[in-house]
Every structure is written in C-alpha cells, then in structure tokens.
C-alpha cells in the first residue's frame, strides 16, 4: 500500500537568509521532507518574486494559511513538474510546467499537494491590489481581483515573451541580480499578461467602426509581412487612413504605436523561429532585418538575452518551462 502523504503546517517551515542574495529570504521545509524551499524577493512596495524549488522525498501536503491585507494578483509560471492547490472551499488550481496560472487571492487557506520524487520549480510574481490599481487602473484592477477568496483567472501555455524574461528573473532570484534589472523584467511580464487578461480599450467614442476595421487591417498586414520593410506610408495607403490618423488610432485602439507593435510582432515571431530550430541569420531575414547584427542587437534589447543563447539552448535540448 502506498504511504500516506506527509502533512506540513505553516509553523513547520523555517525562514532563513539567502547567502547569494541578501535581499531575499528563504522559507525552508524540514529536512525530513526533502529539499524544499521558496525564496522571496521584494522588488518594490507591493511587487515581489517568489522562486519555489521543491524536491520532496515522498508525497507531500502543505497546509497554507496566510490571509492578505488586500487582494493579491499572483502570476505563477511553471518551470518544472506540477502541483495542485485546493482551497478550503474545494476550488482547485493547477500549476503545470510550461504554463502560466494567474489567480486572485484574498487568502490562501487550503493545501498544496506534491508527489514524491517529482521535482517542482515555479516562479511567482505577486502584485498587491494597490500596485495593480496603479498599473491597470481602478476599474480593471477591481474586475481582475473580484471579491472571492480565490479566483483562477487564466491557465495557458507561457508566451514566448514571458518565457524570455523568466530566464533572467529565475537566475536573478537564485544567484542575485540588480533590483532594477529584475523590476524591468518583472514589469515586462506583467504587461504581457495584462495585455491578454484585460479587455481592449473601448474606442467607440473616438473611432468609427470603419476606422477600427482599418486599424485592425493594418495590424494584420504587419503580422503577415514581417519580412518586409514596412513603413507608415505603406500601411496608410493600404488601409485608407492618413499617417496621423493611423498613429493616433493605434494609440487609442491598441495602446501602442505602429512601430512598437511591429517590433513586438517581429520579436515574438523571431523567438518562436529560434526555438523551432531556425538559424539566427535566417530568423533575422524572416522578420525583416537585412543585417543579422542589427537583429541581434534588437533581440537582445527586447528580451534581455541574445538570439544565439536561445538557439544554443534549443540545440542542447533544453527549453524554458
């Protein structure tokens, strides 16, 4: 018969300092459980990172009981293995490798379950209600956080953009990194996820239906011609909007500029090509760069890592989970 799972309470954990990162604190479970710890690093008031590395020797149930003063948005990125949270009300939230789970917590009274002999690594970004209101606005923050104790907002594969930033964040929490660098990557991930969670800005008061359709057509033209030297003039002529209206429309409808959207589309496509095995030079040409060197500079600025690093990682058979 299988052994009963070992049950751990919050009082069983020990809080330690992290030698490699003095700004972080470590919450470690008793040694008889296995090698299980979570490193917590505060980036700013209401913004923190938590890196969990659990390697339980046997089945483990960890009780949780840490009510927050206010709602907290928690973005959990599965790096390895899987676990499950079950709330006191019976609601279940799964955390899977290669996937992003987004939840809104007011309190986390429940338990987390881990299988013995199966390592679990996760990185969590914790955003307080006040900080979320600052970034997303009061209405959207309220819409996301809701009013219940636990709400699962999203479970899906981690995007290429977020995965690239995760590499720096995971290394930074474990080995130490400048807080400014970590904050930039953390906020980039938050922006990427909010882009998918929040509804598009309503443009009905400033843009006609015809203008909205033309702007969406311009975006689709970009997406379908990333290898071409696209210009504002070309897009304007193709969709029937003057340059000024096109640029203003992008700000209103998409909350960005045509140039920034084109860059984002090209970089996300480039990352996908590199992960699939495409060479750096080939990738550069396929996303509109005549000179691979210019592409490498742009890619490194956008993701914080070079395209060769992504390509080498793929060739060695490793992926960001």
> Which residue from 268, 74, 73 is spatially nearest to 164, judged by alpha carbons?
268
**8, pLDDT greater than 60:** yes
Compute how many other C-beta atoms are within 10 angstroms of the C-beta atom of residue 234: 14
pLDDT in tens, 170-224: 887 776 667 788 888 999 999 989 888 886 555 445 788 888 889 989 999 998 9
> Which pLDDT belongs to residue 301?
87
Residues 159 and 231 in one domain: no
Residues 106 and 243 in one domain: no
Which residue matches tokens 């996303």?
A: 287
Residues 31 and 161 in one domain: yes
pLDDT in tens, 44-88: 889 999 999 999 999 999 988 665 557 899 999 999 999 999 887
> Which residue from 21, 299, 315, 24 is spatially nearest to 164, judged by alpha carbons?
299
Mean pLDDT for the stretch of residues 126-151: 86
Q: What is the Cα–Cα distance from 114 to 59, expressed in whole angstroms?
A: 6
- Look up the domain containing 286 and give its range: 209-315
Q: How far is C-alpha 84 from the chain's CA centre?
A: 19
> In this structure, what CATH number is given to the domain that contains residue 190?
2.60.120.10
Residues 54 and 188 in one domain: yes
**In angstroms, what CA-CA distances link 208 with 57, 203, 217?**
61, 8, 14
> Which pLDDT belongs to residue 51?
92
Residues 182 and 218 in one domain: no
Q: What is the Cα–Cα distance from 246 to 242, expressed in whole angstroms?
A: 6
Split into its structural domains, the chain has a count of: 2
Residues 110 and 167 in one domain: yes
User: What's the pTM value of the predicted model, to 2 decimals?
Assistant: 0.62
Mean pLDDT for the stretch of residues 18-30: 77
DSSP 145: H
């Amino acid at each position: 018969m299988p052994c009963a799972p070992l049950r751990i309470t919050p009082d069983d954990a020990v809080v330690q300092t992290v030698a490699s990162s003095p700004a972080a604190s470590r919450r470690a479970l008793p040694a008889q459980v296995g090698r299980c710890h979570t490193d917590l690093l505060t980036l700013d008031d209401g913004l923190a990172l938590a890196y969990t590395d659990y390697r339980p020797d046997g089945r483990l149930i960890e009780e949780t009981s840490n009510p927050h003063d206010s709602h907290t948005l928690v973005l959990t990125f599965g790096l390895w293995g899987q676990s499950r949270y079950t709330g006191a009300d019976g609601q279940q939230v799964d955390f899977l490798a290669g996937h992003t789970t987004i939840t809104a917590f007011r309190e986390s009274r429940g338990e987390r379950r881990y299988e013995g002999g199966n390592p679990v690594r996760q990185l969590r970004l914790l955003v307080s209600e006040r900080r979320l209101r600052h970034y997303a606005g009061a209405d959207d923050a309220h819409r996301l956080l809701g009013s219940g104790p636990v709400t699962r907002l999203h479970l899906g594969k981690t995007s290429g953009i977020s995965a690239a930033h995760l590499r720096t964040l995971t290394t930074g929490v474990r080995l130490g990194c400048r807080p400014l660098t970590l904050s930039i990557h953390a906020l980039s991930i938050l922006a990427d996820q909010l882009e998918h969670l929040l509804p598009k800005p309503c443009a009905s008061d400033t843009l006609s239906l015809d203008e909205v359709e033309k702007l969406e057509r311009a975006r689709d033209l970009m997406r379908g011609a990333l290898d071409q030297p696209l210009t504002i003039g070309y897009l304007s002529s193709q969709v029937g909007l003057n340059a000024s209206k096109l640029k203003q429309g992008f700000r209103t409808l998409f909350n960005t500029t045509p140039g920034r959207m084109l860059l984002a589309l090209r970089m996300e496509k480039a990352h996908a090509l590199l992960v699939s095995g495409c060479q750096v030079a080939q990738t550069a040409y396929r996303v509109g760069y005549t000179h691979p060197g210019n592409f490498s500079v742009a890619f490194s600025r956008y993701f914080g890592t070079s395209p060769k690093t992504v390509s080498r990682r793929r060739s060695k058979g490793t992926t960001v989970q």
